[in-house]
Structure formats: C-alpha cells, structure tokens
Amino acid sequence: MATPSLAMIPSAYADSKVYSVLPNNGDGDFTFDRASTATRVGQNGLIETVLTDIPRLNYDISNGVVQSCPSLLLEPASTNLVPYSQTFTGWSLTNAVETPNALISPDGNLNASKIVTSATGLDVKYTNIPVAANTVYTYSFYCNYVGGLGLQGRFYDNTNGANIEYYDYMNQIEEGKWKRVTRTFTTPSGCSNIQIWYLAASSTFPVTAYYWGAQLEALSYATSYIPTLSGAIQTRAVETCNDAGNASTFNSTEGTFFIKVNYINTTESFRISISDNTSNNKIILATLNNKYYYEVRAVDASISASILSNIPQTTNEVLLAGTWKQNEFKFFVNGTKIGEDTLGNSPNGLDTVRFNNLSTNQPFYGRARDIRVYNEALSDAQLTVLTTL
Amino acid sequence: MTNLLYKASIVTTPTAYGVGVLNSIKPAYALGENLITNGNFATDSDWTKGSAWTISSGVASFDDTSNSSLSQSISFTTSKSYKISFEITSGSGSIAFLSSNGATTYITYATYTVGVHTVDFKYTTGVGLSIFASTFLGGAFSIDNVSVVEITDADFDFTRASSATRVNPDYLIETVSINSANLVQNGNFSEEGSEQVVNGDFATDSDWSKGTGWTINGGKLLSANSAQYVSVNQNILGVTLGKTYKTTINVSSISGGYIVKFGSSGTIYTLSLGLNTINAVWDGTNNGLAIYNNTSSVGNITIDNVSVKQVDPNDNWTLGGVAEFGNNLVHFESNSNTYSYIRQDISSLSNSKYKIQLEVKNYVSGACQVGFSGSSPILINLNITSNGIYTAIVSSNSNGDDLEISREYTGGNFNFDITDISVIEIQENGVPRLDYTNGTASILLENQSTNLIPYSNNTSSYSKANITATDNFTTSPEGQINAAKLLTTSTGQCNIKTSFTAAAGNYTGSIFLKKQDFDFIYVELGGAYAWFNISTGATGNSGNYGSDWTFLSHSVESFGNNWYRCIITGNCINAGGYNFRSMQPVSSNGSYNSNLNNGTTFWFGCQLEALSYATSYIPTSGQSGGVTRAAETLNNAGNSDLINSTEGVFYAEISALANDGTNRCISLYDGTVNNRLTLLFGSTNNSIRALIKSNNASTFDATHIVNSTLNFHKIGVKYKENDFALWIDGVEVATDSSGATPIGLNALTFDTGNGGQNLYGRCKSVAVFSEALSDTELACLTSTNNREIFLNYYYRMQYVGANTEALSCAEQTFNI
C-alpha cells in the first residue's frame, strides 16, 4: 500500500503540539489548544492532571486492563458543578458513616471515602447545586462496591420541592472494582437548584461502598473527570487540534482520507476535515443525522460527493475512509463500501487537516487513534483492508 | 535497500569523516596486491640502481655521494589511487617518489627518518616508481620493505576554508571540529629523571662520606650525638647546576636541627620527621649533597632513604621570573608582580585554534594568562579567582610556537600554582558536517554565506526600546548558558534591533527565540515584517510597508527544548540603511504591542544573510562586516573499477536548502562535463532532473516536479544503452529507450563535473550500482519502508524534545 502523506498516530506531544509520524519535516504536526488543565487516564491506568495546552493521550481501560496504546482525547468545555468532588465536605449524612481517605482512588492516592449505611432511611446528599431549568445534565461518580443491596441515586428539585428521579445503579458497579457511574437527567421547568443523593433502599444492612470523583455537567454525557478540590466549581476549557499540513503535504487531485476514532456521543454532528481553510474546497469525514457521513466540496463549495451511511452513530471505535478523484468518490466504513459517486470535481488547494469543519464549526469530540491522508485514491481492496477493524 | 546493498559498488552515508575527507562505507577500505617485486631486497635484482645505490643484506642503501634513483617499472592505471609503504632502517634521507623512471613527475618529496612511512597518491602519468634520493638535505640511509598497492576506497575529498556549525547528535548547535591529541609534554610536571644518589637506601656502608658520629647500619643512615656542621655527604655526579631536582629524604627519627644543602654554598633546607620532599634548583657551587646538624647542640637522626631526581628531565619547560617547579606543579609567587612564566615549544603550530587548559591550585592571589609567545604574543587572561580548571581558546601565533603560561600584569602580586596543562589543536576548516537537524543525520553542504551582524549573540551593541537584556542567562540551542533574557519594561512597543546597510537584493534574517511569557513575536527586516508564534512554532501574519522592501517569506524551525528559529526573507528594492528588529514581543498575531510589563523572551543567535534563505548559524563576536562561512565542496570519490560506464544505477537521497533558481548537481563523470550522469535540483522550483551526456551529446534528460525539494527524496537513475529511467520515491517518472551511455566514468562528485553548480543541500545517502537494476529493485531502492518511517519519526521526536510515551504505538500501528 502507498505511504501516507500525513499520518498521526497519538504517540508524541508537547506543549500545544500533537506530532504526526508523517510527514517527517513537521509540516503535518497539529497545533493544540486548551486554556485550562484537564485530566486523563495515564499509562498506569490512573487519572492524572495535565497542564494547560498539553494534549491528552488517554489510555482507555477495557475490562479492567489498561490499553497499551493511547488515543488523542478531545472534549468540549465542561464544568463540574459539584464542589469538593473527592470528599463529602458539605454533604449531609443521615444513618450513614463516612470514613475519608479509606481507599486508593482512581487517581492512585488514598483519598476515596468509605460510606457505610447503618439503618433504613439513610441518605447522603448535597443539597444546594444551582442549575438551569429544562436542561440536560449528566451526573457521574466513581464507586467501588463492597457489599449490601439496593444502592440508588436520587435528584431532587429544590425549587419545586419534588423528586426529579430515583435511579438504580447496581448494574453499573462491580464488587471490589472502581466503576464510573453515569446518569443523565433533565431538570424540570422552573428548577434552579437541586440536591444529589446517594441512597440504600435495601433492608439488608450494612451497605458499604467507596465513593470518589463526583461530577455534574450540563451535558448529555459524561466527560473526563474535572476535580473540584477547593470547593469551587471548575471548568475544563474546550480543546482544539488543527492546522496540520500545508499545500506540499496533500494532493488535491486525488487522495484518500482515513480516520479511526470514537465519537464522544451518538447524537451530535462531528467533523474532521481536509480543506484549503475555506469552505470552497473541503473533504469531510463526519457524523450527520446520527449516521456516518462523507462529503467533498470543490472549487466553489459545490458538493462533489455527499455519501451518508445508514450505519447508526455509536461511541464505539469506527474506521472511516473516503477517496476523491475526478468523477470518483468512495466512502468506506468498517471494511464496507458505503457508497460511490462517479460525478464531481476534485477540490483545489488542500492544505490543512482540522479536527473540525472550519473555524470552530462542528468540532470533533472523542478519541482519535489514527488519522491518515494518502495522495492517491486507494483501491477498493486497499480501502477494505484499511477500514477493517 | 538492505538486500540491494550487496550490489552497490559505492555507498556513502553520513557515518565517518576526517579533515578534508568524507568516508564511504562501501567499498570498505581495501588495498590491492603489491605491485613491487623484491620490495624486501632479498636479492640484488629487479631494481634499477643509480650510482649511489647498492642492494645488500636485505636492504637498499644510498651512500649520499650523488643524487641518484632506485627504480622499478610498474603498470599504474590513470586516475587510480595508490599507497607507497617503506621503512627507513638507518639514517635519514631526502627522498622524492616519482611515477616514472627518472623523469620529474613527482609524487611527493620529503625527508624521512628511521621508521615506517606511507605515501598516498593518485596516478596521473608515468611508467613506474622511482625512489630518487638527494644529497641536498638528507644523508646516507637504508630502505626496506617497499610496497605499492592500489587503494580501492571511494572516500570523498572535502573542502571548506572556514569553520561552520552543525546540529550535533545531541541536537545542539556546535562548530564542527576535529581535535588533536594533547600537544603538551609533561603537562602535570610529574616526569622525573633517573636516580642520582648512589646507595640512597643505605644497603651497604659505602658511597657516602661520613663525618664523626655518622654511621650506616641496617639499611639506615644514623647520626648519634653529632656535633654542629659535621656532615655526611655524597658528590652527586649527575646533577647540573641550575636545574631543578626533587630530593626526598625519609627521616625516621630526629632530634636537633639537621639540614640538607646542595653544593657548598647552596640553599639549606631543614629536615623534619617523616618524608621530606624538596623541589629546588641545584644552586650550590658544586655537586655535593650534605646533611648535617646545623645547631650548636648535639643531635641524633635516623634516615631511611635519600633520593635525588631531576624534575622535568627532558627540559620540556622553560621557567622565567619567579616561577618554580613544585611537587607536580609550578608555583607562581611574587610580592612585586615580577613577570614570571613557563614556556614550552609546541612545534608545528598550524593556522588553527588551540584549546589551552590548566588547573589552578592553592590560589591566593593574582592573575594568569595563557597563549603563545613571540614578538607579537597572543595571550588571554584566564580570569582566575580560585582553585579550578580554566580554559581558553587561542589562535595560533605566526611569530612564535612557544606555549606560555604567565602571570597577568593587571592582577598585581600573585601566589598560585598551576598543573595539568594541556593544549589541543582544534581543526575547524575542512571538517565535513554530519548534521542532525530533525534528528536524522545528513551530510550538509552549503554555499558561502556571511552573517552580516557583528555580534550574533551579544546584546550590548543592539538598540533596545523598552527592553532590558541580560546576556548569558539561560541555556541556548548550543547547550551552553549563553542565551540572553529580554525583559519588557513596559507595555506597548518593546523591541531589540540592530542596523545594517543593504544593497538591492534578497536578505534573510533569523533569530532563535524561546517563549517565557509571550506567544507571539513580531520581527521586522527592513520594510518586511512577520509574526511568529513561538509557543506552537507556527508562522503568523506578514507583509511589508513602504516601497523599499518586499516581503518574500517567513518560516519557523524547531531546535528542541522549546527553541524556535524564526526566519524572515525580504527583498530590498532601494539600497540604504535599515534595521533588523529581531524581537518585539506582542499580545497576539498582528499586534505591535506588548500586553505585559516584565515579560520575558529568550534570545540567541541573530543572523542576517544576503540570501533568499537562512543557512546554518554563523556565530560572530565583533568582527566588522560579520563572519563568512566558506563554500563547501565534496568530490573525487571512486574510480573506474567502481563505476561502470556501460550500465548501472546512480542513487541519491537528497534535499535542497531552498528553491533559489539555481542548478545543484551531483554527478558521475569522466573528469569532464562531456561524459557524465548528473542528478540535480533544477532552477525551476521543486524540480528534480536527470541528465546523461555521452561524448557531449545528451542521451537522457528528464525533469520531474515534486511537492517540495526541501524534503528528502530518493532518486535513482538507471542507465544502459537504449534503456534509461528516472525513479523518484518509488515511482518511475521518466524513461527513454534510446541513447548511448557515458564513456569513461571514473569519479563521483557533488557538482556538475567541472567544479560548478555544486549540490548545496543535504544528503542522507548516495550509491552507485554497476548494473542496471530491475524495476522491482528500483522501486524498492527509492521507496520508504515502514521501519525507516518510524525511525525518522523517532529521531525527530528526540530532536524536538517531544513527550514520547507512546512511540511504540506508532511503530505497531503504522503498518502500511
């Protein structure tokens, strides 16, 4: 198979920089930006904080095993609305006993709290979290379950004096292991302040578990952990990763664009593009209408190819490849040719790969494992091999 | 490529070099058969002897009665290199080697003394070897073991008549050099002469004249109740008055005031219990060494051993003033600032730099200078202030070869010791550059260029606006603490600049910058300007103002450790005086103003060249008009055995330094431009061209445009009668099925064949194959394999100082 003109395998980085394997002269390196610290899962499987503008090579944990190769984690801005995310400072406990610093937490430090319930009617709650009404929130926390039954969570609407919901998270935890529990809910109309509860509804006592890393975000999904150690809410800034390549890197006449990624959710549209830094000439591998999508625009922003798969967008790893050539455009997903367009112009002046559409439009959020651009349109057989998991 | 290597007759990669030579890795250095018959003179035969020569007893002898030749016919081949080896077994002779019988085609002429000698030469004309001995300078001598063998290496001759810098394997900028061995003899003053005392261990009762009360018994010298001035003494025959000797006297018991005195009126030294070590000039009037009780009271002493040895026995050092030898050191002490020195003749100083280093011990006061003496001495103050090792780089002195270490006058009275003196010749001219920019080695060849800025790394001569500068503040791309800290003293426009005079034409300014507080820097060259992001290494906006300059380009190069070289090129339309504003920290791309008082940027290596691109860093330190790095040449590799004219492949992995509108060539040729195979970066931007001439007729001429010739490309040209092809990066880009091949190819040169149109660029590899490879082999040869891709990435990541925690994933994943 041909050698890519640009290839980024997340493997090396520096302040504001994600390095590409090809080209070797540095023209294909990405410029990275994040105006805050952030956390990642490091090589040792522990959550750690990285400094401002340091890209995150995140090591996923699969079935309890830290994966040897990282992905480039890119996330939107998000704020953890829960103060003191690693302790129960400010929480009220009824019929429950907290032992702070009782277990090694997911960040590798002895800073997880142990909660033991002693009677029915227990509750562990944080009673004052300002929120916006009619807004989707996701609450997440790390739980290491010891024993007992009936662990539940609850969100309570202080404004309206009513429950938002109870939920059972027993199916998200596992005895003796740290698991991240996530729950997404929508605040009711008029709701401006809520309570967050941990409950034990079972009559079998005691119920024991360790807790760490509480996080409430105004998103429909949980993002990486944002510590709020000082009691104040904390915001992780948005991440951008763009401007790889130049006019010498790419062949506008024909080529192949390949990505291997996990999207951060199943609903939003995300785009990774090669373009001339305008909308006139652009090649996009994307999600659209909860499906995988390939689009080529040439010369005057006219669409040369627009191929939408019928494969539902997931957060699982997906391999997408699109080719361009005069009157020959193909789209492959996970080893299958999705579609082909035999009429259209090639773009001109391609000079940059961006983890978005243009500017800040429809950015990619998720985990990227492999980005490549070839200066030739690969064959169907090659594309099948390239995009097969 | 690995599998193809065995087919290559010449392979050169950036691996080994010396002064004036770049070594090829294939063919391995090899010598042919000995072409001389009876070179060991076993019989009086095979040689034609002149009247002054005889062959006898296994040697040939010259009696110095007349100029005369000893010769033998040999079949040399034109343009091949040969090595003559011989041994002078006695005497010394003025010998000329000639490549013909008695004619005057000199190979070399020199005086040779006893020992084995070699002479390398390239044959041009003649019919044999003649050993021509002259009565002019030499004398009678005998010669043996004469051999002449062909040298079959493909090493290149390299020239550059100046110093130059490179990025070294540690990714630091350095001036390339080859250092000599230590040229100083007895630099730690530890050499001692032979023992001068006879029976110094008192093994027998002899050799010593004993006064009353002195005895020798049981391996000891004893004095029991000896009176004043009653001595034991020995006439030390080997000593020389005025020389310094180290005397040791081991006293195992003592009472009373015993002394030792050298010579009848020499200085006396008091003895004490234990080992007494005295380094002193033998300043008495005779050779006698005497030990006696120097007090009016009787005393007792037992001495185990007495030794006297000359210090610096080979007289390597000359001492002047109050300088005196001590125990493995030289002591300098004066209360009247007396000019004092030590000197040593460092013979055969060349036009080089020398690194002089010494250690100061027991420092109390004073100053010390080092250099070379003569009618116009070159001496540098070492600025010693305490014990420690001090170093100076000193240029050679045309009027004197003596190394001098002396007290420096302005230091006043002095009291210190020195030892461990070394002098290393630093050869900078003619040393090829194996450059590791971006992490992988390449042979860097550049044209002449001048850094027009007199002080490239000293901010004191620069104009500053709202900037304070502290030189030598932090680690620079050289790895030394010699980069400046530039601190803004207000918001608004803060900058540092230097003036220059420009003629009409292209100029390129460059500066190494490292971020502390500002992401963006504004740089202005005459009327051309540009912004640089020194946080990300990206270029920003650019342009020009007025009508005197046109902005041409700007770029950024990473040098690791967050250092970036920011480069701007502009065209001066109207000659005149202008400024190079090398650093103006600003709040954002496009802004002219700093948003931060007390904001820091680090600054190093300002360079301005009258070129359309930046070349390697040329340090300057006050030279009016700047410093010029000379043009480099690389040529004369191989011979007709290694280069097949009938068919073959010429391969090179090269990159250009710029699209500068010139032809830059690398050629196989016959010594002329009439028969050659030339690979070149053409005058058209990003063009690669192959040109073959046979008897001055073009038989293959193909040009291909690549994305950028600034990137490395693997280029192969296949040549065979009626079968020519040009391959670039794994793709056959041109063919020709008719034409003749060049005739008489016998050398590989980095020019067009006549010394012009030199290849200025980078070369990772060049190879010559003596057969026309198949298309599959050419595709393989000119392609990049996965391992190479990963290694290039690996080395680049090391170079830029990236966090490389997952490089193995790139290696695993990059399975193309």
Mean pLDDT of chain A: 94
Whether A307 has a pLDDT exceeding 60, the answer reads yes
Average pLDDT for B140-155: 88
d(CA A256, CA A374): 5
| Span of B259-263, B344-348, B517-521 with lowest mean pLDDT | B344-348
B358 with B420: CB under 8 angstroms?
Answer: yes
Question: Is A237's Cβ below 8 Å from some Cβ in B?
Answer: no
What pTM value is reported for the model? Answer: 0.79
**Structure confidence by residue, pLDDT tens digits, A191-228:** 999 999 998 876 566 789 999 999 999 999 999 999 99
Q: How far is A196 from chain B (nearest CA, A)?
A: 39
Question: Is A62's Cβ below 8 Å from some Cβ in B?
Answer: no
B23 with B655: CB under 8 angstroms?
Answer: no
* C-alpha B717: how far from chain center: 36
Phi, psi of B452 (to 5 degrees): -75, -5
DSSP 8-state assignment for residue B772: -
Residues 301-360, chain A, touching B (beta carbon < 8 A): none
Q: How far is A377 from chain B (nearest CA, A)?
A: 15
**Comparing C-alpha atoms, which of B607, B459, B615, B590 is closest to residue B525?**
B607
Q: Is residue A344 domain-shared with residue A230, that is, in the same domain?
A: no
In this structure, how many other beta carbons lie within 10 angstroms of the beta carbon of residue B434? 20
d(CA B485, CA B473): 6
- Report the chain B residue with the minimal C-alpha distance to residue A250: B707
In this prediction, residue B102 carries a pLDDT of: 46
Strands B713-720 and A234-236: unpaired
d(CA B476, CA B482): 6
**Contacts A23 to B, Cβ<8 Å:** 711
Last residue of a domain, one of A218, A236, A254: A236
Q: Does some domain include residue A15?
A: yes
In this prediction, residue B1 carries a pLDDT of: 46
**Contacts B813 to A, Cβ<8 Å:** 9, 69, 369-370
d(CA B283, CA B265): 8
Of the candidates B711, B790, B802, the beta carbon closest to that of A13 is on: B802
Using the Cα atoms of residue B204, residue B210, residue B215 and residue B221 in order, give the sign of their dihedral: negative
* Token pair for A27: 């023209």
Q: Is residue A230 domain-shared with residue A142, that is, in the same domain?
A: yes
Place of tokens 């080997």: B238
Picking from A24, A69, A256, A258 by the largest number of B CB atoms within 10 A of its own CB, the best residue to mutate is A24
d(CA B784, CA B763): 15
**Contacts B562 to A, Cβ<8 Å:** 14-15
Picking from A11, A53, A72 by the largest number of B CB atoms within 10 A of its own CB, the best residue to mutate is A11
Question: Is A56's Cβ below 8 Å from some Cβ in B?
Answer: no
Q: Is residue A100 domain-shared with residue A232, that is, in the same domain?
A: yes
Q: Does some domain include residue A317?
A: yes
Q: How far is CA B600 from CA A121, B167, B323, B491, in A?
A: 61, 26, 49, 12
Question: Is A249's Cβ below 8 Å from some Cβ in B?
Answer: yes
In this structure, how many other beta carbons lie within 10 angstroms of the beta carbon of residue B288? 18
**Contacts B814 to A, Cβ<8 Å:** 7, 9, 21
Q: Is residue A249 domain-shared with residue A231, that is, in the same domain?
A: no
> Which ipTM score applies to this complex?
0.92
Q: Does some domain include residue A287?
A: yes
Task: Band the pLDDT of B281: cuts 50, 70, 90.
Answer: confident
Whether A3 has a pLDDT exceeding 50, the answer reads yes
Using the Cα atoms of residue A40, residue A42, residue A48 and residue A54 in order, give the sign of their dihedral: negative
* C-alpha A127: how far from chain center: 29
Picking from B437, B792, B814 by the largest number of A CB atoms within 10 A of its own CB, the best residue to mutate is B814
Q: How many CA atoms lie within 13 A of A143 on its CB side?
A: 24
Picking from B792, B809, B811, B815 by the largest number of A CB atoms within 10 A of its own CB, the best residue to mutate is B809
CB–CB of A9 and B813 under 8 A? yes
Q: Is residue A211 domain-shared with residue A266, that is, in the same domain?
A: no
d(CA B647, CA B643): 9
**Contacts A17 to B, Cβ<8 Å:** 536-537, 802
CB–CB of A12 and B809 under 8 A? no
Task: Band the pLDDT of B399: cuts 50, 70, 90.
Answer: low
Could you give the dihedral angle defined by the CA atoms of residues A176, A182, A188 and A190, in that order, rounded to the nearest 10 degrees? 90
B37 with B108: CB under 8 angstroms?
Answer: no
Q: Is residue A314 domain-shared with residue A334, that is, in the same domain?
A: yes
CB–CB of B793 and A22 under 8 A? yes
**Contacts B801 to A, Cβ<8 Å:** 14
SS3 B810: helix
Last residue of a domain, one of A207, A236, A265: A236
d(CA B569, CA B539): 13
User: Any idea what the CATH number is for the domain that residue A171 is in?
Assistant: 2.60.120.260
Whether A24 has a pLDDT exceeding 90, the answer reads no
Q: How far is B736 from chain A (nearest CA, A)?
A: 26
d(CA B766, CA B748): 10
Phi, psi of A230 (to 5 degrees): -85, -5
**Residues from B in contact with A at Cβ < 8 Å:** 438, 535-538, 558, 562, 707-708, 710-712, 730, 783-784, 789-790, 792-793, 796-797, 800-810, 812-814, 816
* Token pair for B19: 């002064």
**Contacts B539 to A, Cβ<8 Å:** none
Q: Is residue A216 domain-shared with residue A255, that is, in the same domain?
A: no
Q: How many CA atoms lie within 13 A of B609 on its CB side?
A: 25
**Comparing C-alpha atoms, which of B188, B423, B184, B199 is closest to residue B311?**
B188
In this prediction, residue B816 carries a pLDDT of: 43
**Structure confidence by residue, pLDDT tens digits, B50-76:** 899 999 999 999 998 888 888 887 777
Of the candidates B536, B562, B797, the beta carbon closest to that of A19 is on: B797
A263 with A367: CB under 8 angstroms?
Answer: no
**Contacts A14 to B, Cβ<8 Å:** 562, 800-803
User: Any idea what the CATH number is for the domain that residue A277 is in?
Assistant: 2.60.120.200
**Structure confidence by residue, pLDDT tens digits, B613-627:** 999 999 999 999 999
Average pLDDT for A361-386: 95
Q: Is residue A221 domain-shared with residue A253, that is, in the same domain?
A: no
Using the Cα atoms of residue A20, residue A22, residue A25 and residue A31 in order, give the sign of their dihedral: negative
SS3 B187: coil
- Report the chain B residue with the minimal C-alpha distance to residue A260: B813
Q: How far is CA A3 from CA B587, B706, B723, B731, B783, in A?
A: 40, 15, 28, 12, 9
Q: Is residue A230 domain-shared with residue A88, that is, in the same domain?
A: yes
Residue-range definition of the domain harbouring residue A95 = 80-236
SS3 B439: helix
3-state secondary structure chain A: CCCCCEEECCCCEECCEECCCECCCCCCCEEEEECCCEEEECCCCCEEEECCCCCEEECCEECCEECCCCEEEECCCEEECCCCCCCCCCCEEECEEEEEEEEECCCCCEEEEEEEECCCCCEEEEEEEECCCCCEEEEEEEEEEEECCCEEEEEEECCCCEEEEEEECHHHCEECEEEEEEEEEECCCCCCEEEEEEEECCCCCCCEEEEEEEEEECCCCCCCCCCCCCCCCEEECCEEEECECCCCCCCCCCEEEEEEEEECCCCCCCEEEEECCCCCCEEEEEEECCEEEEEEEECCCEEEEEEEEEEECCCCEEEEEEEECCCCEEEEECCEEEEEECCCCCCCCCCEEECCCCCCCCCCCEEEEEEEEECCCCCHHHHHHHHCC
d(CA B561, CA B53): 68
CB–CB of A21 and B810 under 8 A? yes
CB–CB of B538 and A31 under 8 A? yes
Picking from B520, B783, B791, B803 by the largest number of A CB atoms within 10 A of its own CB, the best residue to mutate is B803
Q: How many CA atoms lie within 13 A of B815 on its CB side?
A: 7
Q: How far is CA B517 from CA A54, B483, B589, B595, in A?
A: 17, 16, 15, 10
**Contacts A370 to B, Cβ<8 Å:** 813
* Token pair for A273: 């593009």
Q: Is residue A299 domain-shared with residue A320, that is, in the same domain?
A: yes
**Contacts B558 to A, Cβ<8 Å:** 26
Q: Is residue A231 domain-shared with residue A251, that is, in the same domain?
A: no
d(CA B52, CA B66): 6
**Comparing C-alpha atoms, which of B389, B370, B367 is closest to residue B380?**
B370
**Contacts A241 to B, Cβ<8 Å:** none
Q: Does some domain include residue A46?
A: no
**Contacts B536 to A, Cβ<8 Å:** 16-17, 31
Question: Is A4's Cβ below 8 Å from some Cβ in B?
Answer: yes
**Comparing C-alpha atoms, which of A181, A177, A207, A206 is closest to residue A103?**
A177
Of the candidates B712, B790, B801, the beta carbon closest to that of A14 is on: B801
Burial A59-70 (b: 16+ CB within 10 A, else e): bbeeeeeebebb
- Report the chain A residue with the minimal C-alpha distance to residue B655: A25
- Report the chain A residue with the minimal C-alpha distance to residue B519: A16
Q: How far is CA B666 from CA A316, B81, B766, in A?
A: 53, 22, 9
Last residue of a domain, one of A194, A218, A236: A236
Place of tokens 């992905």: A71
Q: How far is A28 from chain B (nearest CA, A)?
A: 12
Interchain CB contacts (distance < 8 Å): A and B: 98
d(CA B66, CA B135): 6
N-terminal to C-terminal alpha carbon distance within chain B: 17
Q: Does some domain include residue A138?
A: yes
d(CA B702, CA B726): 7
Q: Is residue A228 domain-shared with residue A316, that is, in the same domain?
A: no
B781 with B27: CB under 8 angstroms?
Answer: no
Q: How far is CA A100 from CA A88, A104, A110, in A?
A: 8, 11, 9
CB–CB of B796 and A26 under 8 A? yes
d(CA B727, CA B653): 12
Q: Does some domain include residue A56?
A: no
Q: Does some domain include residue A200?
A: yes
CB–CB of A31 and B438 under 8 A? no
Question: Is A58's Cβ below 8 Å from some Cβ in B?
Answer: no
**Comparing C-alpha atoms, which of B571, B564, B577, B572 is closest to residue B538?**
B564
Whether B582 has a pLDDT exceeding 90, the answer reads yes
In this prediction, residue B689 carries a pLDDT of: 98
Q: How far is A111 from chain B (nearest CA, A)?
A: 27
Task: Band the pLDDT of B126: cuts 50, 70, 90.
Answer: low
Task: Band the pLDDT of A275: cuts 50, 70, 90.
Answer: very high
* Token pair for A4: 């890519």
Whether B406 has a pLDDT exceeding 80, the answer reads yes
Question: Is A57's Cβ below 8 Å from some Cβ in B?
Answer: yes
Domains in chain A, number: 2
